[in-house]
Each structure stands twice: as structure tokens, then as C-alpha cells.
Amino acid sequence: MQHLIDPMDLTKEEIDGILHLAQNIIKDKEKYSDKCHGKKLATLFYEPSTRTRLSFESAMMELGGNVLGFSEASSSSATKGESVEDTVRVVGCFADIIAMRHPNEGAPKLASMYSPVPVINAGDGGHNHPTQTLTDLLTIIEEKGHLDDFTIGLCGDLKFGRTVHSLIKALSRYKNVKFVLISPKELKVPEYIITEVIKPAGLMYEEVESLEENIGKLDVLYMTRVQRERFFNEADYVRLKDTYILDKAKMKLAKEDMRILHPLPRVNEIATAVDKDPRAAYFRQVMNGKYVRMALILTLLGISE
């Protein structure tokens, strides 16, 4: 039985297979509309979500399956002290596959060790968000045509941003990807990402603070939100939250074919005036998230094309 907890749980070939299947689904949705008939997905969300939970549920519905679950811990027996281990043992009696979001890093991993059905990590604290990464990879392919030979700028909260950590891990398997890591000193990417992921892969990277000075060299700009919920004190959040605001003036410095990605939700780090720019790919990215989750569900359930 295969789970997805960390993007590195999948080989590069498996990732490419899921992305290829997602592209086939985009081309012929009808072909897949009954593939999960009789199957159930449980979404166990101990932390808020709009995109991830609803895209998982929409994905299962579009495959002809059903969904059940909870969208906040307070409506589950976690409030009575039930452990994650017991919860998945129970939910595994009702569902064929589980998507779990949890504020505690490692909770979905723990769940996978006790679950009788596949567990998908839908985001664990500041750690990983592998299905957002699959979404991001599919979007880069759809927008740029390839996952090798490009320069990506990751901008904003690189310290707590689980989407950033997962995306760098996944991209480290592709050839000649250059990382421009744009953040204030306080929100730099964790050291292990540099020493254990980027450097062993032999990929080029630079850590910089200015978006204006670096945007012109990027093929993809991955903007992120400064995450209030991960800060230990409000004063630091207030001081750092407006460090980067992508607006029309900064977009004039970018390449004509650059693409802007953002895992969303956005607060104010991308001005709404940028939404009309054809280079803004973040709402197309949301749609890709549904297709890639359809492909992942089929893959983990072992349902063939």
C-alpha cells in the first residue's frame, strides 16, 4: 500500500506518471468520470483549508466516487482526546483513501503507520504539502512546457512555507533548475533545504532579499504569503508581512513569458491589479490542483487508465 507523505516518497518516474495522467484527464474528463464508482475518500482536516480540501472532494466526485470527513478538529472526536492513530484506524473502516491536514508536523506520517488505507498528507504544519507540489509541477509544465532548464524565484516566507520546502525537494530531481530564494533574513529557507536537498543535487541557488533586483532573471516566480499562524509573536508578523508586494510596476521588470504561481490563499503580496496580467497563473494553478489530485487518487488506489 502506497501513501504520500513527503514528495520524496514518489520516484521521479512516479511523479512524471501522475503528471502525465493529470494531463490525460484534462484532455478527456469523461473517460475518468466513473473510475472511482463505489470508492470513498475521507478528508480529515484538523486545520483550515479552502483549496486543498474542496479540490480533493471535487476530484473524487469527478471520478464518480463519494466523500466524507470533517473540516475542523472541533467537530471530530479529537476534542475528546482521540489520537490520530485511532482516528485513522476508525476512518479506514469507512473510506478507501484518506487525505489529512494537521497542524503538527509528522501527524500524517504517524497516521500512515496505522491506517489500513492509503494516507495523503494534505499539509502538516510548516513541513510538507506534497499535493500542492504536484499542483505546482503540473502548472509549470502546462505553462512553460517543461520541468528542466529554468530559473525559479521563490519569494516571501521561505522559512515556514511548507509549499516551498516540498516544491524545492521535487524540483531538485530535475536538470538545471536554478533557485533564487528571495526572503527577508528572518524568513530564509531552513538550512537543511540547502545542505540536504539543493547542494547534494548539484543545483545552483542564491539567497537574496530584493524582488525588484532579481525578478528580471526569472522564468517562474513562486510568491508566498507570510503566514501569521506560524509566527510566535504578532510584532514580528506585522514587521515582515508587507516585505514583498508584487504590483504592476514590478511586473514591468519581469520577462514577457515569466509565470507567477502562488499556492494561495493570498493576503496582499500580489496586488489584485496583477490578476489580469496573462503571466498570472495562480487561478489556473488552482484548477490544475483538482486534476492532479484526481490522478493521485487513481494512482494510490491502483485504478488503471
Tell me which residues touch ligand CP (CB under 6 A).
49-52, 123, 132, 263-265
Residue 200 Cβ, how far from ligand CP at the closest point, in Å?
A: 27
Starting at the edge strand found earlier in the chain, the sheet holding 259-261 runs 205-208, 177-182, 150-155, 220-223, 259-261
Catalytic residues: 51-52, 80, 101, 129
Return the C-alpha cell found at 164. 516551498
Nearer to ligand CP, 155 or 203 (CB): 155
Nearer to ligand CP, 96 or 136 (CB): 136
Return the C-alpha cell found at 295. 490522478
User: Is residue 34 a contact partner of residue 60, using CB atoms and an 8 Å limit?
Assistant: no
Which residues lie below 8 Å from residue 126, measured CB to CB, with a gap of 6+?
105, 159, 160, 161, 162, 165, 227, 230
| C-alpha–C-alpha distance, residues 146 and 168, integer Å | 16
Nearer to ligand CP, 187 or 203 (CB): 187
Residue 86 Cβ, how far from ligand CP at the closest point, in Å?
A: 25
Residue 251 Cβ, how far from ligand CP at the closest point, in Å?
A: 22
Nearer to ligand CP, 198 or 264 (CB): 264
Residue 217 Cβ, how far from ligand CP at the closest point, in Å?
A: 26
Specify the DSSP class assigned to residue 4. B
296 φ, ψ (degrees, to nearest 5): -65, -45
Instruction: Give me the residue label for grid cell 520516484.
Output: 11
User: Is residue 44 a contact partner of residue 90, using CB atoms and an 8 Å limit?
Assistant: no
